[in-house]
Amino acid sequence: MAETSVHGAIHRECSAPPLSRRDLISGLPDAMIHNIFSFLPIHDVVKTCVLSKRWRPTWTTATDLVFVGYDVYFEPPPDSPLFFPSIVDSVLSQFSSPTVKKFHLTRFMYDEADRPRIDLWLRFAVRRSVEDLRLRLSQRSRFFYVLPEFLYCFSRLVRLDVGKCCFSLDMTIWWPCLKVLSIEDAQLSDDFLGRIFRGCPVLESLVLSSCEGVNNIIIDSLCLKKLVLVSLGFGSYVKKLCAPHLLSLRVIGGNHAGFRLDDVSSLVEADLDFSVESRDPNSKGRDLLRHLLEKVRGVPTITTGGWCLQFQLHRESEERFNFDEEDFLCSRKGNFECLVKHLKRVEIVGCEAYVGESKHLLALIKFLLGDALVLEKLIIKAKLPPTPDGQKQLQVIQNVLSYQRASKNAEIVFDYHFK
């Protein structure tokens, strides 16, 4: 009897279809399918209906809707099934989920005639309690989209990212759940920025990119910890930044000759990578450099752009006929106590072609290695041309590795990648 039972078990096990022939994809739970959808733009999500009968209606219940436009001057004509607004309309008309967590609309070539349509799309998202809203129109669009009034007081938003959109600067803001806000290519004002801070009590991160009209940024919020200013427009020269509770500050791109930090006493990270017209004889770049370094002297992590070294070296070279970068840095050794006692990690990024072609950069590397007593790692990230000169690059590496190191634990890392 036992033998018969064993043979029966073996027969049943062998009769099961091979793993390669089973329809495993149809057995996936909806939660897993929706998680897969969250990584795909909506046009790819819709295509998944061909994978299995069970998947055919599943995309209509997805909670993430990501629409990516063509970002070209000439889209398919309105009567084409590939016309982007028609695709969005079609998807939304078949959508059956009561909620939308993510609604993204990017790279859409906007025209003023499209405004009613986008209003309807945003109202669709708002009625389904969207939490993550991104509306980044194509930079090639000739017009700015005017944000609708119903969007200014919406209590469910957690993340908002808008680009090429126009704000009504007299509107009251009320986004009580908003934690992350990013605004690109918009006209703002100091007063409107203040209303954003007052209307977003839990805001943690703010990014302003290519925005105009911002001169004074006053942040009293205890929640806002990260501020990023990227290439502010010609009408925006941030004269004053007061943010006593801010932890992370990045100022990237643009010319900020008049930039001043007021109270940034809580900073733990500062990235000041912008330009200063240092070759202008009337430039106040030296005063700006002194001011910024004084304000961030206690910040654990500081990143600066090449303008700091280049400006100081350029000014010094005007004052000394036989100027030597290495001599200049060595003469300033006593002024860098934090470098000697505290500097542990240095990253030099954005180097073009061969590091050895920049005497300023080599002088800085040699100075850091020879003076930083607790330095642990110096990373050099450089961009190489498509056909690099290996012999030349090897010579540069050997040269840098031969520099004297004040710290016995100092490690030099060359991180090269092609353009």
Report pLDDT digits (tens) over 30-84. 677 667 766 666 667 666 665 666 666 666 777 888 888 876 655 666 666 667 8
The pLDDT of residue 263 is 92
pLDDT tens column, 232-265: 655 456 788 999 999 999 988 776 666 788 999 9
Percentage of the chain exceeding pLDDT 70: 66
Q: What is the distance between the alpha carbons of residues 274 and 107, in angstroms, rounded to a whole number? A: 27
Does the pLDDT at position 229 exceed 60?
yes
Question: Hey, what amino acid is at 367?
Answer: F
Of 121-125, 290-294, 356-360, least confident by mean pLDDT is 356-360
Q: What is the distance between the alpha carbons of residues 110 and 141, in angstroms, rounded to a whole number? A: 5
For the ranges 3-7, 63-67, 282-286, 293-297, the one whose mean pLDDT is highest: 63-67
What's the whole-number average pLDDT of the chain? 78
Q: What are phi and psi of 244, to 5 degrees?
A: -65, -15
pTM (two decimals): 0.74
